[in-house]
Structure 1
Amino acid sequence: MTQKNKPELLAPAGDLERLRGALDYGADAVYLGRESFSMRAAASNFHSAEQLHEAVALAHQYGKKVYLTCNTLPRNEEIPTFPQFLREAQEAGADALILADLGLLATARKLAPDMEIHMSTQTGIVNYATCQALYDMGVKRAVLARELSLEEIAGIRAKIPAEMELEVFVHGAMCMSFSGRCLLSAYLTGRDANRGACAQPCRWNYHVVESKREGQYFPVEETDEGTYIFNAKDLCMIDHLQELLDAGVDSLKIEGRNKSAYYVAIITNAYRAALDAAMAGQPAPEWALREVVQVSHREYCTGFFYGRENAAQRYADSSYVRNCDVVAVVNRWEQGRLYLTQRNRFFAGDSLEIVAAGQPPVTVAAQGLENEDGESIETANHAMMQCSIACETAFPAGSVVRKPVE
């Protein structure tokens, strides 16, 4: 299928630092939330109208778009606050709203008729009839359910107006329930996943307790490997972007508003390189494929894109794989020295990797380590301390400095 427009790389922004990381490392658009109506209530978010204005203004300076999430399933008492939410979104200049609830959709069409609307994956869009119905209601983009295969996505694309855009998640955490509509957290903890407060009970280790054997716990095992029966692997489609584009996808979405600025920068950087390569008819660069394992992640899978059997669970445990620690962020390069803000401890002589936007990582040695007064030191061991190392190569401000985990 011929792509009618250049596909969009859409990255998460949980706060201003992560927003800058997404923009600096190649996102075409970002999605972010506020305290209310957000499926990531635990993220720092952009609470005030002033913070939202600042975020949108910054993105627009980069020539990038901002999509504001209001993708919860709100209860009665929340509905009266939505008109004010809409007004502030319009005043800030947000480029689109991401909605899941039909009542909010109707309100948005009435009170903000010029605002672009995207319907969230929480809506559970799995067929072309739903896409067409939403298009008829003024929706510009459908964020398809994660349970669809590539073949099903292509089938939807073939039967809906060319003007309606399709968005899919390509990387990040998967949910064990249908399109995130889970009651397990609300039932066990009182924290409603559908209103942004998921306690992630799918990651817990489960046992059975027999009523007459108090204190004796018996494992609940789906296989011999372990007892984490709901624990999904993470999604990673970096090596399959051309197939997504061939299926007619317009926007490739990275999950992770609760993830670190380092995670957002590295994953966005890798997918930027892979997407540019796919658009040129080339495979993803090898360095980009390696980068997705340099962030904290669960084991990867390809989700439902190639059938249900590939949407694998991780039964042994719910731990993350972590290969690197961020040790500093570059402030500037000047006269053969790289000036840094420390984030985690490192030592003089350590082998470090520096990742700049649009480039593969470069290995350097932490030679000539000095504190902010220019005094030689053996270790940078104070969080956010200013320090520098000798470095012949200039790296831009904001580049990430990391150290392999030993």
Structure 2
Amino acid sequence: MAEGNRVTNEPASGRHARPEVLAPAGDMERLRMAVAYGADAVYLAGNQFGMRTFAGNFSPAELEEAVKLCAARGVLVNVTCNTMPRNGEVSRLPEWLEYLDSLRVNAVIVAEVGTLALAKRYAPHLDVHISTQASIVNFQCASAWYDLGAKRVILARELSLDEIREIRARTPMDLEIECFVHGAMCVSYSGRCLLSNYMTGRDSNRGACAQPCRYRYALVEEKRPGEYFPVCEDGENTYIMNSRDMCMIDHIPELIDAGVDSFKIEGRAKSAYYAAVITQAYRRAADAALAGVPLDGVWRDEVEHVSHRHYSTGFYFGQPGQYTEDSRYIRDWQVCALVESCGADGAAVLSLRNKFAVGDELELVGPGVRPTAFTVPDMTDGGGLPLLEARKPEMKLHMRLPVPVPPLSLLRRRVQAQGAAQ
């Protein structure tokens, strides 16, 4: 049902009719992709009090636009207020919370009890979700947050599936449980790390992590400056703090059985392509699990088509282990073009992202569109002239696609090189 711009998809009991797919939205482009590719809800930040300084984030005008866009599509908007505010910042929180309340976003995500108290006072129409930064690892803690007025807890990523199942069994049933299912993992417990602040002055607990856990380290003896001795996990592997990415695409039925209400995808600082492809993969996985059918392998394979580190299942089934040889992303696919419009006959207008030529082998993927491989046919530029190779970024070109697709569909191709260390 709708309340102003606010849309809710919960039944009267307060529990979701189905687990929601919760997608990251770092800016308007990524939000549009997440919504188009099947998100039930998005989480995003304004230009203050969020934990991702280097995401694009949303100005007040953009936030209003985002809420209207999502309301029109029945998608919930959760806004992060999950930094640890200092004395000089707390005085600005009431005005910001009142503004979010006036927009009728769905929820604010907070990490500490002071912000929760302010949210209940200054944003009374909004739900309050407790951030993973609060390190909720037991049913007593989850219930305590509920007693203080929280609608949802976002559990620490260090929990096993059995621990989550017990938390669900021993907390009020109208307390929602949200868990991460995909994306980057942190070397530190629930993201609480001082290494970035100490080494670079960028505070990871205030959204500015420089990811020093991804660096390659060596020892230096004080009387031998310039002589570096490798620090090895085993053999010659020196990336001793490099965590793998989480991927739970193969275990959605187990998560549903454990009582998880919301499947959260990490990645507000990642690309619009990532937001699209990963959202659609988990949308398909959730729908298949609820229908009691196996996930089609073509959708399972989609998680391999985005930039990622080596995957693991996080802590759900025990220690995830590390990949210590390097901290590079695996980048096997590249976006070539965005579909701006497409007719029933497949005649499309595209906007170029990376160069490609007639005769190249590409894949077409889009909202609700099964990935389709094809060979690039004849194409023309914006003026109708024949075009053998598209090279100018964001140029318009015309091409007949193998199947009709909606706007925001994408053309991509396999590439050979992997990305540089991050």
- Normalised by the shorter chain, which TM-score bucket? over 0.9
Q: Report the residue type matching 1:13 in the other structure.
A: A
Asked whether the 8 Å contact 1:239–1:283 carries over to 2, the reply is no
Q: Report the residue type matching 1:22 in the other structure.
A: A
- CA drift of 1:111 comes to 2.0
- Matched residues in 2 for 1:292 and 1:122: separation? 26
Runs ≥4 residues deviating over 6 A: none
- Alignment match of 1:357 (pick from 367, 381, 385): 367
- CA drift of 1:236 comes to 0.1
Asked whether the 8 Å contact 2:101–2:122 carries over to 1, the reply is no
Corresponding residue number in structure 1 for 2:7: none
Corresponding residue number in structure 1 for 2:20: 8
1:22 equivalenced with 2:44 (yes/no): no
1:189 equivalenced with 2:190 (yes/no): no
Corresponding residue number in structure 1 for 2:338: 329
Q: Report the residue type matching 1:390 in the other structure.
A: R
- CA drift of 1:88 comes to 1.3
- Matched residues in 2 for 1:112 and 1:33: separation? 16
- CA drift of 1:225 comes to 4.3
Asked whether the 8 Å contact 1:337–1:392 carries over to 2, the reply is no
Q: Report the residue type matching 2:377 in the other structure.
A: Q
Q: Percent identity?
A: 50
Corresponding residue number in structure 1 for 2:382: 372
- CA drift of 1:87 comes to 1.3
- Matched residues in 1 for 2:357 and 2:284: separation? 31
- Matched residues in 2 for 1:395 and 1:379: separation? 22
1:40 equivalenced with 2:82 (yes/no): no
The C-alpha deviation readout for 1:186-242, integer Å capped at 9, x for no partner, is: 111111100101011011111111111111111111111411111100000000000
- CA drift of 1:390 comes to 2.8
1:81 equivalenced with 2:112 (yes/no): no
Q: How many residues align?
A: 401
1:139 equivalenced with 2:150 (yes/no): yes
Q: Report the residue type matching 1:142 in the other structure.
A: V
Q: Report the residue type matching 1:34 in the other structure.
A: G
Corresponding residue number in structure 1 for 2:317: 306
- Alignment match of 2:69 (pick from 58, 70, 73): 58
Over 3 Å counting, the alpha-carbon distance change for 1:340 and 1:269 in structure 2 is same
1:156 equivalenced with 2:167 (yes/no): yes
Corresponding residue number in structure 1 for 2:405: 395
Query: Superposition pairs for residues 215-230 of structure 1, below 5 Å?
Result: 215-230=226-241
- CA drift of 1:248 comes to 0.6
Asked whether the 8 Å contact 2:362–2:413 carries over to 1, the reply is yes
Q: CA RMSD in A?
A: 1.2
Asked whether the 8 Å contact 1:272–1:358 carries over to 2, the reply is no
- CA drift of 1:285 comes to 1.5
- Alignment match of 1:252 (pick from 263, 269, 277): 263
- Matched residues in 2 for 1:162 and 1:405: separation? 47
Q: Secondary structure at the match of 1:401?
A: strand
- Matched residues in 1 for 2:264 and 2:111: separation? 16
- CA drift of 1:392 comes to 4.6
- CA drift of 1:51 comes to 1.4
Asked whether the 8 Å contact 1:53–1:93 carries over to 2, the reply is no
- CA drift of 1:4 comes to 6.5
Q: Report the residue type matching 2:337 in the other structure.
A: A
1:203 equivalenced with 2:223 (yes/no): no
Unaligned runs of 5+ in 2: 1-14, 417-422
The C-alpha deviation readout for 1:325-365, integer Å capped at 9, x for no partner, is: 00000112235522200000101111111101123201122
Corresponding residue number in structure 2 for 1:269: 280
Q: Report the residue type matching 2:71 in the other structure.
A: H
Q: Secondary structure at the match of 1:67?
A: strand
